[in-house]
Amino acid sequence: MKSICPFCGVGCGLELMTANNVVVSVKPDPEHVVSRGHICGKGSVAHEALTAWDRLYYPLKKVKGQLERTSWDDSIKYTIESIKNIQKKYGNDSVAFYGGCQNSLEEGYLFQKLARALGTNNVDSCARVCHDPSAKALKEIVGIGAGSNSATEIPKAKVVVVAGESITDSHPVLIQYFLEAKKNGAKIILIDPRTTRLAGFADLHLKVKPMSDIFLFNAVGNYLIQHSMIKQDFIDSRTEGYEEYKENVSKYTIELAAEQTGLAEKDIIAFAKYVSEDRVIFSWGLGLTQSTGTKGIKSYLSLPLLTGNFGKEGAGAIVYRGQTNVQGSGDLIKPDVFPNGEMNDANSEALSRIWGFKPPICKGSSIPETFYGSKKIKALFIMGYNPVRTLPDRDKVKEFLGSLEFLVVQDIFMTDTAGYADVVLPAAAWAEKEGSVSSLDRLVKWRFKAVDPPGIARPDYEILSDLAKAAGYNFSANPKELFEEMKKVATVYSHLNIEDVMDYTKDSRYPNGELHLYEEKFATKSGKAKFVPVDAEKHNDGLILVTGRTVTRYNSDEVVNRIPGMQGYNLKLWINPADAKNIGIEDGTMVKLKSKSGEMDITAKITDDVIPGVVFTYMHNPRINDIVSPEFDDETHTPKYKYTPVTVTK
């Protein structure tokens, strides 16, 4: 049976072999249009977590402080009654619905629809805490909150810039395209404070200090303008806001950028010359979104506008998203916009004609707004998301969950968050249901059901449909019907054809199936892309903790730790030799890593792979989120996981 890998945003095609209602093996699908017969080590054992020893088999309900087995009828009825009682007491906005990014497009669509049927826009997904800055910046500048190019176009580029992303660790299957690009003569530019494996074949590695990206991008923009290395015809005919941008970046010199980034002036100039080429792909990962965030991406995206690198093959923007359907969740589940556009009366009326009810217009609360300060949320519904394990400053997260009057967790495992729940609803996993997912480069593909879920666990769309019925609404539980309804609502998916989505050999992308967008016009109201001037800020000169991925692990390790032979690993803190000398430690020394949020003991790894002033460790061990501080992006409230001031002592 064909399926899509449940891990990163590449969305590799899989073929699942089954026996006696068990997926017994996985192999790569040679027909898949992007992965082309490749999978990584995680994908090859993805099926093994399906039979984990602690899968949820039946609904649970808290009775006298203990979770006890209950029926589906009782859990559904109790959930809706409890939510409605709380809303009657505190108002509709006292309830929030927050989901993960492993669910299908149809399930995400149904999830936010249920929340709005119950009268609240407090809906969000974990796309908020990773690439929401990317979506917001792209939406404002080019009109669609997604990358403009397919990953398959990387070999067509003359230059590929990678900012804040370790391809070999996070999206290893895409390395095939980088190798092809190198074979074709392309130059690879890496912007990262540590030496990743990609640095081994980069033509230029810019080891920037954390949070200094805007100094770099603004200075390069100014240099391109001053040296007439821009595409003035493209700027004049296809963009707006150029003069304001030009004036703003005029104060950002190469000298200032060198001082703030720690880079050599000659390397900054070399970067400017590389990006002035005709076919350049500007790509980035969490190293950018979870540090300088929305402002950093706006500054970065000015470079392809200056050089005319949008709207053609091998030229544009690619976002390295971390989960299978994080693009889709970000498209559909937001507290400040509807799936059909802006949160206004006209769009609410349009939705009422499809849904049979009019959703509220007032802006809802995002995940960070709720967990770090909101006092209005009294009940919370969480689907496929584990904030206790993944959000920063864990003590505050636990404190908030403990303050709730009612918590529902719908998941496949008994997670840390589920331990706080009043009701736990057992969900089917990725291979036990069907539905579509949207990859990092806008490719939408269908997952086909291979086996039944364990016990009486059920697909999320069936659970959500039954919850809606208990609340007095008739929502479909058929994923194909939901797909067609979603197309009517979400403009970016309106041109999809379900037959193409189910065919792994075809490029099914939105809005019109283009491998690259914006050949003739941008998707903004004016049809032109926007230069958005932003300013850089000077930051802490002390030690900064940066987190990242390794190829054998995945996110918070919730799934990987349930795969036999992959449980646990030796967590280390990477420290530059100069910093180690100042601290007075050697390789292998146990050190204390401390921030304003918490502290932990960890083994030091002395290496030149990180620059002085930066310490690095992998994000996968949940102890790290005791250390990461809850500093947020100004525009999206995305946590700055890649920038935590710390101290390191023996």
By 3-state DSSP, what share of the chain in percent is helix, strand and coil, each rounded to 5?
A: 35, 20, 45
- 529 belongs to a structural domain: no
Smallest Cα–Cα separation from 334: which of 110, 181, 112?
A: 112
CA 294 to chain centre: 14
Count of domains forming the chain = 4
Region 230-235 average pLDDT = 98
In which band, very low, low, confident or very high, does the pLDDT at 492 lie, cut at 50, 70 and 90?
very high
Q: How far is CA 113 from CA 299, 402, 403, 424, in A?
A: 35, 27, 26, 21
Q: What is the CATH number of the domain that holds 378?
A: 3.40.50.740
- Rounded Cα distance between 621 and 638, Å, is 20
Amino acid making up residue 641: Y
- 407 belongs to a structural domain: yes
pLDDT for position 99: 96
Mean pLDDT of the chain: 96
pLDDT for position 319: 98
pLDDT for position 284: 98
**118 in the same domain as 11:** no
- Rounded Cα distance between 14 and 304, Å, is 35
Number of other residues whose CB lies within 10 A of the CB of residue 437: 32
Bridge partner residues of 190 (DSSP) = 162, 205
Tokens describing residue 391: 């959000």
The DSSP output letter for 209 is: P
Q: What is the CATH number of the domain that holds 560?
A: 2.40.40.20
Residue-wise pLDDT for 329-371, tens only, equals 999 999 999 999 999 999 999 999 999 999 999 999 999 999 9
Tokens describing residue 268: 């900054």
Strand locations in 211-331 (E): 239-240, 280-284, 316-319
The residues, ordered by sequence, that sit 6+ positions from 494 with a Cβ below 8 Å of its Cβ are 487, 488, 510, 511
Bridge partner residues of 605 (DSSP) = 574
Q: Where does residue 301 fall: left (phi above 0), alpha (psi -120 to 50 degrees), or beta otherwise? A: alpha
**242 in the same domain as 159:** yes
Q: Which of 391-395, 533-537, 556-560 has the lowest mean pLDDT?
A: 556-560
- 622 belongs to a structural domain: yes
In which band, very low, low, confident or very high, does the pLDDT at 92 lie, cut at 50, 70 and 90?
very high
**224 in the same domain as 281:** yes
Smallest Cα–Cα separation from 27: which of 16, 35, 36?
A: 16
Distance between terminal CA atoms of the chain? 53
pLDDT for position 563: 85
Q: Which residue has the higher pLDDT, 75 or 568?
A: 75
**88 in the same domain as 37:** no
CA 53 to chain centre: 28
- Rounded Cα distance between 169 and 196, Å, is 9
- Rounded Cα distance between 377 and 78, Å, is 19
Residue-wise pLDDT for 582-629, tens only, equals 999 999 999 999 999 999 999 999 999 999 999 999 988 878 888 998
Q: Which residue has the higher pLDDT, 509 or 61?
A: 61
Above 70 in pLDDT, residue 203? yes
Tokens describing residue 257: 């950028």
Q: What is the CATH number of the domain that holds 30?
A: 2.20.25.90
In which band, very low, low, confident or very high, does the pLDDT at 568 lie, cut at 50, 70 and 90?
low
Smallest Cα–Cα separation from 613: which of 563, 544, 525, 529?
A: 544
pLDDT for position 553: 84
Domain finish residue from 494, 512, 533: 494
- 528 belongs to a structural domain: no
**616 near 560, Cβ under 8 Å?**
no
Phi, psi for 458 (deg, rounded to 5): -135, 155
In which band, very low, low, confident or very high, does the pLDDT at 561 lie, cut at 50, 70 and 90?
confident
**522 near 155, Cβ under 8 Å?**
no
CA 25 to chain centre: 28
Q: What is the CATH number of the domain that holds 244?
A: 3.40.228.10
- 367 belongs to a structural domain: yes
Region 25-33 average pLDDT = 97
Q: Which residue has the higher pLDDT, 558 or 279?
A: 279
pLDDT > 90: percent of the chain: 92
- Rounded Cα distance between 355 and 332, Å, is 15
- 109 belongs to a structural domain: yes
Tokens describing residue 333: 């589940």
**468 in the same domain as 561:** no
525 CB-contact burial (10 Å; exposed 0-12 / middle 13-18 / buried 19+): exposed
Burial profile 147-164: b = 16 or more Cβ within 10 angstroms, e = fewer: bbbbbbbbbbbbbbbbbb
Residue-wise pLDDT for 398-424, tens only, equals 999 999 999 999 999 999 999 999 999
Domain finish residue from 471, 494, 517: 494
**74 in the same domain as 217:** no
- 144 belongs to a structural domain: yes
**123 near 116, Cβ under 8 Å?**
yes
Domain finish residue from 285, 320, 355: 320
**453 in the same domain as 331:** yes
**408 in the same domain as 369:** yes
**492 near 358, Cβ under 8 Å?**
no
**483 in the same domain as 454:** yes
Tokens describing residue 389: 């394990």
Above 80 in pLDDT, residue 200? yes
Q: Which residue has the higher pLDDT, 236 or 394?
A: 236
pLDDT > 70: percent of the chain: 100
Above 80 in pLDDT, residue 567? no
Region 56-70 average pLDDT = 97
pLDDT for position 299: 98
Number of other residues whose CB lies within 10 A of the CB of residue 69: 10
The residues, ordered by sequence, that sit 6+ positions from 627 with a Cβ below 8 Å of its Cβ are 545, 593, 594, 595, 597, 598, 599, 600, 644, 646
**393 in the same domain as 330:** yes
3-state SS of 28-60 is ECCCCCCCCCCCCHHHHCHHHHHHCCCECCCCE
- Rounded Cα distance between 169 and 547, Å, is 13
pLDDT for position 638: 96
Residue 63: in which H helix or E strand, if any?
strand 60-63
pLDDT for position 629: 82
Region 640-645 average pLDDT = 94
Smallest Cα–Cα separation from 424: which of 446, 436, 409, 434?
A: 409
Question: What sign does the CA torsion over 573, 578, 579, 584 have?
Answer: positive
**201 in the same domain as 68:** no
Residue-wise pLDDT for 278-321, tens only, equals 999 999 999 999 999 999 999 999 999 999 999 999 999 999 99
- Rounded Cα distance between 336 and 195, Å, is 38
DSSP secondary structure of 562-605: GSTT------EEEE-HHHHHHHT--TT-EEEEE-SS-EEEEEEE
pTM (2 d.p.): 0.97
**292 in the same domain as 172:** yes
Q: In the chain, count of helices (H) and strands (E)? A: 22, 28
Q: Which domain does 85 fall in, by range?
A: 60-130+325-494
- 537 belongs to a structural domain: no
